[in-house]
Amino acid sequence: MVNNAEVLNLMDYNKTVNLPKTKFDMRANLPKKEPDIIKRWEEENYYQQLRQTRKDAATFILHDGPPYANGNIHLGTALNKILKDIIVRYNNMQGYNCPYIPGWDTHGLPIEQQAIKSLGLNRHDVSVTEFRDKCKEYALKYMEIQREEFKRLGVWGRWEDPYLTLKPEYESAQIRLFGKMAEKGYIYKGLKPVYWCADCETALAEAEVEYADRKSHSIFVRFFIEDGKDLLQSGKDSVVIWTTTPWTLPANMAVSLNPDEKYALIRIDGKIHVLAEKLYASVLAEVGITDYQVEQIVAAQALAGITYRHPFLPRVAPIIFGEHVTMEQGSGCVHTAPGHGVEDFEVGKLYDLEVVSPITDRGVLTEEAGPYSGQFYAKANKLIVEGLADSGHLLYTSEIEHSYPHCWRCKKPILFRATEQWFASVEGFRQEALKAIESVRWIPGWGQERISNMVSGRNDWCISRQRTWGVPIPIFYCEKCNEPLITPATIDYVADIFHQEGSNAWFAKEAAELLPSGAVCGKCSHTVFRKETDIMDVWFDSGSSHAAVLEKDAELSFPADLYLEGSDQHRGWFQSSLLTSVATKGVAPYKAVLTHGYVVDGDGRKMSKSLGNVIAPQEVIKDNGADILRLWVAASDFKSDIRASKAILQQTAEVYRKIRNTMRFLMANCADFDPAVDRVSYEDMSEIDQWALDCLDQFLNEVTKAYHDYEFHSFYQSIRKFCIVDMSSTYLDIIKERLYVEATAGKLRRSSQTVLHDILNCLVRVIAPVLVFTAEESWSYLAETDRGEASVHLAKWPEATSDWSNPSLRERWSKLLVCRDEVTKVMEHYRQEKIIGNSLEANLTIMADAVLGEFLRSFPDLRELMIVSKVEIIPYAAAVAGFEYAENLKEFAVKVDKMGGGKCPRCWVWSLEQGTHPEHPELCPRCTEVVLAMPVIADEA
Ligand SMILES: [Zn+2]
Ligand SMILES: [Zn+2]
Ligand SMILES: [Zn+2]
């Protein structure tokens, strides 16, 4: 990089030299400049202009996954939006019509809770519609906050008209989508164990469950035999079950054995205990029983038909068989409660077991729980264990720590509870969904297996929620026979009303007002109905966006080219969108899905307030500017976890400074260059300039590929190498002499300027998708003729000229640069020893073999390339005193002497031939010639 002190000194000598000047400061001052640039973008409506100019072009549709309108944005949200913006901008520059319609997810429990909390509302004191209005107010407030934060990141989009899941047209489209699924028979009501949060009083979707370690009771319980079928004695022998949820024992309806395993009849204190053969040793060791005899080993089937007595309820229950019984832990005899677990429910269906779920919405045991009725389930755990001990059923109790499902919202442990819920039958279209997954390009590729496994393993989708802030489930019930009513006509009618009035209408109006005239019960022909009170799962809301947004918005189309979200969305939005799309249209809503990892700290730990390692995007913007944040995003290999820390951002800022300084050098040195007049044709250029164009060509190819393949970290590496290695320490370092010293309009200088001009025009465009502000600022300093567009973000992607690429020159120069590196190493050594200061003080002697010597002599400007005052090449000889022999280059040695003669004050090159002209006795011959030919320009001052 050019040393400014040097330049100034040089300029002071002779005011007639053109000062390289630019308003593009070294100091970026981004936090101050960026808001002004955003203001200009908005005032000039550049995003809308872009839409106008691209409106007839081929489209590229990136469909925005709606963030939840709750709270400020964090680094993860910022990363997601910046990645999208980079892709959108790149595609627009490539000439595509690539709109960006941001969206927000605005319904759901978290907003209800925040509305209750922050507004001090009591949900039961206000009407449903009033409460929903408050929720809406809250959601819109945060949508606006986030919108401003996203804009501050430099993200372009249709901010003034985003899509919101609470907009009437969205809700209406969602109702129609639901209706289509119902029409195809994919919606059903069923009693089923669902994840249930007793604290939030609602069912939870699989995506709303988080696993965390929790301490639980771990008990082994004897269930005494009722009918032992000649094998076991009634009232004396027992099967031993293991459970960590004693509160589910009131719902026990069977004990399941694995049909393919063997079971041991163990005698302890004269009584037989049934345990799996593979597990009895570990169980007895754990409970501390050493005195026992293995009486008999039997096949599981030998226990068929045996019954036992429930430990505290007046009930006799069977031993049954299920594949879900594993030999990994417990006793191999599994407590089976169809009302409290999916596997229990499934096996219960086969044996026609009753589904009992004796627990209320709030987690209190009901009368069906017998002696434990009225107890909160967590309390009941303790009481039941005590009761089992008193009645002689308890074999052993301890505590274990294990991974247990928790509510994502309130973080409390959840339960499985059978309730009446609405379901989408994934089973009904699972094969189609799996097929659709195969048709999608998943980036990175492992996403495909991940979502395939999730979809093949998942249960039917429980879509009802017992809350109020959401889209109502548009179903009516016959007041006489309770038969649900949902037909294309009722769906149409409700959807039309929602389109006009929004979904508050469901709560404001009577059932009769929401039904088309003449609606009758399909079962009993009754005509009076009541409304369903449940709302839809928020994942159904956002999962409907392909129908509500992609298909409906005039700027978009179905399917999208790309969905781009965090990898947790394989079980969230990617999946809910896929399911509703496949169910209604038979195809995936996207052609490609790109996922990014999570933001973690510099040591790879999760960011959390308690660890104090949270980096807020707002802080980074305030301290460094959004462009630094954006460059950090580009630098990260976002497909895995992304590290962020003060130190990492500092490194990013350092690279930014190098890019900026390169831009500044280019701009300063193009200041007096008019391409229309001064351009030098490729054939007439110096070799080094041709070489620089080849570098530019390669760089452009690399970064274009990086953007195209979503490999933004490759872009970062390329631009870093290009600015630091190819430009600063090589090309620009070498040509600065001719730029400052040679005749202003001389061919040498104009040749280099032509290249600088082309590099600048290319660079400003290729950084634009990432460094949106810096590119825009640079753009404003380009010559009018170069710009063409008012904003760089309206411009097209640069294209290489056919003559830029020059592979033979590339090879020749890579050979030269190896020699130059050796020379630089030696010079550095001499500089450290203070034998020379500036490299121009050096008189260089290179020893090389004949071929290499010949090669080096073929560069007429070798002195300049090495940045010395004199260079001489002599035949190679071994062990010559004063020479340093290269380690990495065969038969190559370098000697540096201090150059004699005098230093030309204009160009700093030392020479033995000063004083050739009486008016400029101190100048070297080259400078004398240049200065004499200069027109004299009056001093600016
Ligand atoms: Zn909860
Ligand atoms: Zn009826
Ligand atoms: Zn000179």
Ligand 2 centroid–CA 518 distance in Å is 14
Examine the pLDDT at 116 and tell me if it is beyond 90: no
Report the C-alpha gap between 58 and 35 in whole angstroms: 32
Q: What are the tens digits of pLDDT across the range 286-323?
A: 999 999 999 999 999 999 999 999 999 999 999 999 98
Ligand 3 centroid–CA 916 distance in Å is 12
Examine the pLDDT at 188 and tell me if it is beyond 60: yes
Q: Which ligand does the CA of 483 lie closest to? A: 2
Report the C-alpha gap between 555 and 543 in whole angstroms: 19
Q: What are the tens digits of pLDDT across the range 831-843?
A: 998 888 889 999 9
Using CA atoms, how far residue 612 sits from 401, 608, 804, 818, in Å, is 27, 6, 51, 47
- 3-class DSSP state of 824: helix
At 8, the pLDDT band (50, 70, 90 cuts) reads very low
Report the C-alpha gap between 716 and 703 in whole angstroms: 8
End-to-end CA distance of the chain: 29
Ligand 2 centroid–CA 876 distance in Å is 106
- 3-class DSSP state of 602: coil
Name the one residue in this structure whose structure tokens are 């003559």. 803
Ligand 1 centroid–CA 405 distance in Å is 11
Q: Which ligand does the CA of 923 lie closest to? A: 3
Ligand 2 centroid–CA 612 distance in Å is 60
Pairing of strands 262-268, 271-276: antiparallel
- 3-class DSSP state of 838: coil
Ligand 3 centroid–CA 816 distance in Å is 25
- Structural tokens at position 192: 């089923």
Q: What is the pLDDT of residue 13?
A: 42
Q: Which ligand does the CA of 410 lie closest to? A: 1
**Mean pLDDT calculated for residue range 673-680:** 94
- Structural tokens at position 835: 């034998």
Q: Which ligand does the CA of 913 lie closest to? A: 3
Q: What are the tens digits of pLDDT across the range 427-438?
A: 999 999 999 999
* Residue 131 and residue 121 in contact, taking contact as beta carbons nearer than 8 Å: yes
- Structural tokens at position 857: 């002599």
Ligand 1 centroid–CA 409 distance in Å is 5
Mean pLDDT of the chain: 92
Ligand 3 centroid–CA 870 distance in Å is 13
DSSP 8-state secondary structure symbol assigned to residue 305: T
Ligand 2 centroid–CA 494 distance in Å is 20
Give me the percent of the chain exceeding a pLDDT of 90. Answer: 81
**Mean pLDDT calculated for residue range 126-140:** 93
Q: What are the tens digits of pLDDT across the range 225-262?
A: 999 999 999 999 999 999 999 999 999 999 999 999 99
Examine the pLDDT at 4 and tell me if it is beyond 60: no
Q: Which ligand does the CA of 411 lie closest to? A: 1
Ligand 1 centroid–CA 758 distance in Å is 60
- 3-class DSSP state of 693: helix
Ligand 1 centroid–CA 466 distance in Å is 13
Ligand 2 centroid–CA 353 distance in Å is 29
- Phi and psi torsions of 202, nearest 5°: -150, 160
N residues, the chain: 941
* Residue 753 and residue 676 in contact, taking contact as beta carbons nearer than 8 Å: no
At 7, the pLDDT band (50, 70, 90 cuts) reads very low
- Structural tokens at position 647: 């130190």
Compute CA 420 distance to the chain's CA centroid, rounded to the nearest angstrom.
36
At 934, the pLDDT band (50, 70, 90 cuts) reads confident
Ligand 1 centroid–CA 194 distance in Å is 14
Ligand 1 centroid–CA 198 distance in Å is 7
Pairing of strands 892-898, 842-848: antiparallel
Ligand 2 centroid–CA 226 distance in Å is 44
Report the C-alpha gap between 595 and 362 in whole angstroms: 37
Ligand 3 centroid–CA 907 distance in Å is 4
**Whole-prediction pTM:** 0.84
Ligand 2 centroid–CA 605 distance in Å is 58
Ligand 3 centroid–CA 930 distance in Å is 9
Report the C-alpha gap between 336 and 334 in whole angstroms: 6
Return the C-alpha torsion angle 254, 258, 260, 264, nearest 10: -90
Ligand 1 centroid–CA 573 distance in Å is 20
Half-sphere exposure of 821 (CA within 13 A, CB side): 12
Q: Which of 113-117, 455-459, 725-729 has the lowest mean pLDDT?
A: 113-117
Ligand 3 centroid–CA 236 distance in Å is 112
Q: What is the pLDDT of residue 192?
A: 81
Ligand 2 centroid–CA 527 distance in Å is 8
Q: What are the tens digits of pLDDT across the range 762-772?
A: 999 999 999 99
Ligand 3 centroid–CA 728 distance in Å is 23
Q: What are the tens digits of pLDDT across the range 496-537?
A: 999 999 999 999 999 999 999 999 999 999 999 999 999 999
Q: Which ligand does the CA of 926 lie closest to? A: 3
Ligand 1 centroid–CA 542 distance in Å is 21
Examine the pLDDT at 30 and tell me if it is beyond 90: yes
* Residue 62 and residue 158 in contact, taking contact as beta carbons nearer than 8 Å: no
* Residue 411 and residue 202 in contact, taking contact as beta carbons nearer than 8 Å: no
Residues 6+ apart with CB under 8 A from 368: 250, 356, 358
Secondary element (H or E) of residue 327: none
Would you tell me how many other CB atoms lie within 10 Å of the CB of residue 388? 21
Q: What is the pLDDT of residue 11?
A: 40
At 940, the pLDDT band (50, 70, 90 cuts) reads very low
Classify the phi-psi angles of 103: left when phi > 0, otherwise alpha if psi is within -120 to 50, otherwise beta.
Answer: beta
- Phi and psi torsions of 190, nearest 5°: -150, 155
Residues flanking ion ligand 3, Cβ below 5 Å: 904, 906-907, 924, 927
- Phi and psi torsions of 22, nearest 5°: -155, 150
Ligand 3 centroid–CA 672 distance in Å is 21
Ligand 1 centroid–CA 412 distance in Å is 6
**Which contacts (CB < 8 Å, 24+ apart) does range 266-269 have?**
266/292, 266/293, 266/294, 266/295, 267/292, 267/293, 267/294, 267/295, 268/292
Q: What is the pLDDT of residue 937?
A: 52
Q: Which ligand does the CA of 929 lie closest to? A: 3
Q: Which ligand does the CA of 415 lie closest to? A: 1
* Residue 418 and residue 354 in contact, taking contact as beta carbons nearer than 8 Å: no
Q: What is the pLDDT of residue 113?
A: 85
Ligand 2 centroid–CA 610 distance in Å is 57
* 738-768 b/e (C-beta count within 10 Å ≥ 16 → b): bbbbbbbeeebbbbbbbbbbbbbbbbbbbbb
Give me the percent of the chain exceeding a pLDDT of 70. Answer: 97
* Residue 482 and residue 526 in contact, taking contact as beta carbons nearer than 8 Å: no
Examine the pLDDT at 700 and tell me if it is beyond 90: yes
- Structural tokens at position 803: 């003559």
Name the one residue in this structure whose structure tokens are 């280099």. 752
* Residue 542 and residue 166 in contact, taking contact as beta carbons nearer than 8 Å: no
Q: What is the pLDDT of residue 20?
A: 58
* Residue 31 and residue 622 in contact, taking contact as beta carbons nearer than 8 Å: yes
Q: Which ligand does the CA of 902 lie closest to? A: 3
Max distance between CA atoms of the chain, in angstroms, equals: 130
Using CA atoms, how far residue 357 sits from 189, 337, 363, in Å, is 17, 8, 11
The candidate with the shortest Cα–Cα distance to 333, out of 344, 343, 341, 325, is 325
* Residue 872 and residue 846 in contact, taking contact as beta carbons nearer than 8 Å: yes
Q: Which ligand does the CA of 922 lie closest to? A: 3
Ligand 2 centroid–CA 421 distance in Å is 20
Ligand 1 centroid–CA 411 distance in Å is 6
Ligand 2 centroid–CA 129 distance in Å is 29
The burial of 281, by beta-carbon neighbours within 10 Å (0-12 exposed, 13-18 middle, 19 or more buried), is given as: middle
Report the C-alpha gap between 532 and 899 in whole angstroms: 95
Q: Which of 117-121, 165-169, 743-747, 856-860 has the lowest mean pLDDT?
A: 117-121
At 912, the pLDDT band (50, 70, 90 cuts) reads confident
Secondary element (H or E) of residue 397: strand 394-407
Q: What is the pLDDT of residue 703?
A: 98
Ligand 2 centroid–CA 179 distance in Å is 20
Ligand 2 centroid–CA 512 distance in Å is 15
Ligand 2 centroid–CA 522 distance in Å is 7
Angle between helical axes of 747-766 and 687-708 (0-180°, round to 10): 10
- 3-class DSSP state of 763: helix
**Mean pLDDT calculated for residue range 161-167:** 98
| Alpha helices for 608-746 (secondary structure H) | 617-623, 626-635, 646-669, 675-678, 687-708, 712-721, 732-741
Ligand 1 centroid–CA 461 distance in Å is 19
Ligand 3 centroid–CA 928 distance in Å is 7
Helix, strand and coil in the chain, % to nearest 5? 45, 20, 35
Q: What are the tens digits of pLDDT across the range 326-354?
A: 999 999 999 999 999 888 998 998 898 99
Name the one residue in this structure whose structure tokens are 């401003």. 148
Q: Which ligand does the CA of 476 lie closest to? A: 2
Q: What is the pLDDT of residue 227?
A: 96
> Averaging pLDDT over each range in 739-743, 811-815, 904-908, which range is the top one?
811-815
**Mean pLDDT calculated for residue range 129-156:** 96
Residues flanking ion ligand 2, Cβ below 5 Å: 478, 480-481, 483, 521, 523-524, 526
Ligand 1 centroid–CA 580 distance in Å is 26
Using CA atoms, how far residue 498 sits from 112, 133, 477, 506, 540, in Å, is 21, 15, 19, 8, 17
Ligand 3 centroid–CA 911 distance in Å is 8
Ligand 2 centroid–CA 189 distance in Å is 16
* Residue 538 and residue 568 in contact, taking contact as beta carbons nearer than 8 Å: no
